[in-house]
Amino acid sequence: MTGLDRRPAAATEATLPRGPLAGFAAGSLGMGVWVTVPGLLLLYFLTDVLAVEPWLAGLALLLPKVADVLLHPWVGHRADVEQTRRGDRRRLLLLGCALPVAFAALFAVPGGLTGAPAAAWVAVFFVAGNLLFAAYQVPYLATPADLRIGYHERTRLMAFRMVVLTLGILVSGLLAPLLTGGNAATRAGYQRMGVVLAVGMLAAMLVGVAGIARLRGSAAAAAPAAHGGWRALRTALRDRQFRWLVAAYLAMSTTTHLVLAGVPYYAEYELRAPALTTVLVAAFVAPALLVTPLWLLLARRVGKQRALLGAQGAFAAGSLVLAVGRPAGLPVLIGAVAVLGVAFAGMQLLPFSMLPDVIGAAGAAGAGTYTGVWTATEATGAALGPYAYALCLAVGGFVASTAGESPVQPDAALAAVRYGFGLLPAVAMLAALLLQRRYTLDATARAAS
């Protein structure tokens, strides 16, 4: 049943124990590394270490993500098959725990490769990593829909996940540039960074697998769907509320990944201090550790939809300040990035807690397939964001280089660095806000809980 007339099935507002919640959330530490480090450093790694032209670097990051549009729904289909046959999705989760191997290989480009061959190496391991990430992420994010919990408890569950995910993003976002060598980053530094963070990823992801098992044991799990897979995929694609939520999230994901990809360039070419990369990352991510509980309280008071619209508006406003650049002053710019971080926390918590509301309203069949479409959308945004920024650089005539080189960039390239980091995200986030306004399920889901 789809459309405005549907009514969500009532869910038991059970309170999940904190221990299993923390175990579940721990899996997001490893996921946070994959979400953050390639988005933060991979485009810069290609253009300023491996001498890959911006347009080709953008394609090397975009084309592997195109495959995700098909791979994630297929993984969701397999997750539903596993849930129906075995009563859980554990085997896919364990397969996904091979992701750290692909992550380490991504930055272990052989010393003789530069330009197009180096881009091909990165693209191949990016495809492998995306598939393994899907194998873990899809069943992981289907967990809230698998449990018999209600509107507010879903938000609480995802708040735990958001805090730990933010910690993973913050730690990896700060450590990765330092492990590469900072201002003197080298190929060997990137390889060292990949291995060190891969070890931490593996440990966190295994804890997450155990945490999901404990959650399923501590709360009544929903009965396995009688159908799923491709039938559920058709249901998801016909679901009007799901389509609007997914479209808005695509714009949000694209925007946030665009900003993340632009951080090293903005620090080096606009602020003229590459070391400020870590400061900007901290300003973007750290506020989420403090404000996630506040977003949870706001969602309880005004609803998830209204809170999310406020987050999108704040992100657009902060982005416009960044478009001003150096004349605004460093404290103002760091403050604007912090505003983006506060908004980012809401845009991570709220849509992910709205997704199980949509699945519940559709009858809870095919949760894995719904989640597969959702994560495919997220992956697409993760590709489109860096690609859009790479196109800005290419249009501005940005000059690629190898590690240790410092080419003089034309004025048009410097303008592209600034406006691509500020003005373009503001426009994209306003588009997300307009799309999000078309979602109307929240009031009904809240009343039914």
Residue 218 confidence (pLDDT)? 57
User: 249: closest CA among 24, 439, 7?
Assistant: 439
List the chain domain ranges. 19-225, 232-443
Rounded distance, CA 369 to CA 404, Å? 46
Nearest to 370 by CA among 242, 240, 249, 223: 242
Which pLDDT score, from 0 to 100, does residue 365 have? Answer: 57
- Determine the pLDDT at residue 147: 76
Structure-token match 């540039």, residue found: 177
- Between CA 107 and CA 16 the distance in angstroms is 39
Instruction: Write the CB contacts of 259 (distance below 8 Å, at least 6 apart in sequence).
Output: 284, 319, 340, 385, 421, 425
Please report the pLDDT score of residue 6 as a whole number.
43
Mean pLDDT by 10 residues, the chain (449 residues): 40 68 87 86 86 86 75 79 77 92 93 87 90 88 76 80 83 86 80 94 92 72 50 75 93 92 89 86 83 89 94 96 93 94 91 86 70 83 86 87 71 91 94 95 70
Q: What is the pTM of this model?
A: 0.74
In angstroms, the Cα distances linking 47 to 115, 183, 185, 220, 297 are 9, 15, 13, 50, 43
Asked whether this chain's domains 19-225 and 232-443 adopt the same fold, the reply is yes
How many CA atoms, within 13 angstroms, populate the side-chain half-sphere of residue 44? 28
- From the number of C-beta atoms within 10 Å of its C-beta (0-12, 13-18, 19+), residue 7 rates as exposed
pLDDT of amino acid 445 = 65
- Domain 232-443 indexed as CATH 1.20.1250.20: yes
Distance CA 43, CA 57 (A): 6
| pLDDT on residue 402 | 66
Using the structure block, give the residue that is written with the tokens 């080096």: 268
Distances in Å between the alpha carbon of 173 and those of 46, 177, 193, 277? 18, 7, 11, 9
Asked whether 259 and 384 are in contact (CB, 8 A), the reply is no
Q: What is the CATH number of domain 19-225?
A: 1.20.1250.20
Chain-centre distance of CA 427, in angstroms? 19
